[in-house]
Chains A and B, each alone.
Chain A
Amino acid sequence: MRRLVAWNLMTLDGYFEGKTLWALDFHETVWGDELHDFSLEQGREAGTLLFGRRTYEGMADYWTKATGDIADMMNSIDKAVATRTLDEATWNNTRLLKGDAVEAVRALKAEDRKDIFVFGSANLLDSLLTAGLVDEYRICLAPVVLGGGNPLFKPRESELRMRLESTRPLKTGGVVLTYRMNG
């Protein structure tokens, strides 16, 4: 069983995007050489990138037009998108996971490859966290307070307890926190 690692940037008040879709200006406060290298390292750790449909559409649009080492990694790597509505995925090397996302991700985890990484995809991650399918959560906390927007973590039945694995402050003022999920 391979691991599933979630990676996201979040503000100090818990938002991963602003009030509109892809309002990600706050990323600029923490982006730099360190996160660039970190992204490439994660690309090397990853066997498959997994997305929810909305994140998939934005990522596909962005990375197919981008160039550079991160774009090369994003465009070439094995990808999967969990969706009820899409009928085809045109981004290179992308599979559709139709039907029940939790069951599809269980099957994806059983494949004999390197780890699964999920970027963005807050709604999908909410289901996966509830189903206990997330093994590790890496979060870069940006020194930003948005005051409103799209929360990374959704209201839930009970609190989610984790184990702090490491902390890494960045020169830009971001802090990368790594948590292991219990259970």
Chain B
Amino acid sequence: MAKLVFAMNLSLDGYIDHEHFAPGPQLFRHWIDYERSIAGSVYGRRMYEIMSYWDEERPEWTADEREFAEAWRRQPKWVASRTLQSVGPNATLIGEDVEAAIRDLKDRHSGEIAIAGARLAGSLANLGLIDEYRLYFHPVVLGEGQPFFDGVRPKLRLEASDLIGEGIVRLTYVPA
């Protein structure tokens, strides 16, 4: 039985707008290790389109970027979308019944499955499917943006507080 985890960078005031969180070397290493460790990821459409960037090799990439791309390509990806007709390598479209598909994935895998995309995470949380939240608070205030908790108000219990480096603190919560 896999654990469903929503882990993401966010600002101190709770927004996930990714262009503000370009990782330094420590955080990037952390995410590379994380990508390697998981059983796979479930993507919402928008986040999948952003992350598909890593499918196509770029000559300007650094060694770390190539390592991340390799880890990202290797893991199985499941994409929840009503509009996409096809997805890239090592990715599968999830049909209409997202809840059944996620329950099936959790049953068939062990370890961790990552949720990518706040809207998707919100709807899965409302179905009681998210087992853990990891909030990577960056030392920045944005004032407005896309919320980490999108249309969901889970009751939470603090599980851990860890320093990642580069001014980032990771707070881990589980449903209370």
Binding site for B on A (CB under 8 A): 10, 12-14, 129, 139, 141, 143-147, 151-156, 159-164, 167, 169, 173-175, 177, 179
Contacts and interface: CB of A to CB of B under 8 A. Distances in A.
Contacts of B167: 162-164
Given A139-B12, A167-B161, A161 B139 contact: yes
Nearest to B168: A164
A13 B173 CA distance: 14
Contact of A147 (B137, B144, B153, B176): B153
Given A141-B171, A177-B169, A179-B139, 4 more contacts: A12-B148, A12-B173, A13-B14, A155-B143
B169 A155 contact: no
Interface centre among A14, A160, A164 (most CB of B within 10 A): A14
Interface of B: 11-15, 20, 135, 137, 139-144, 147-149, 151-154, 156-158, 161, 163, 167-169, 171, 173, 176
A163 B15 CA distance: 18
Given A153-B13, A160-B140, A167-B169, A12 B135 contact: yes
B158 A156 contact: no
Nearest to B133: A12
A163 to B, nearest CB: 6
Contacts of A129: 141
B13 A145 contact: no
A12 B106 CA distance: 27
A129 B11 CA distance: 16
A159 B140 contact: yes
Given A12-B14, A13-B149, A167-B163, A156 B141 contact: yes
B165 to A, nearest CB: 10
Given A159-B20, A161-B140, A145 B158 contact: no
Given A12-B14, A145-B153, A175 B171 contact: yes
Nearest to B11: A159
A13 B139 contact: no
A169 B149 contact: no
B143 A169 contact: no
Given A159-B142, A175-B161, A143 B173 contact: yes
B10 to A, nearest CB: 9
A10 B161 CA distance: 16
B148 A13 contact: yes
Given A164-B168, A164-B169, A14 B158 contact: no
A152 B13 contact: yes
A148 to B, nearest CB: 9
Contact of B157 (A10, A143, A160): A143
A160 B158 contact: no
A174 B158 CA distance: 8
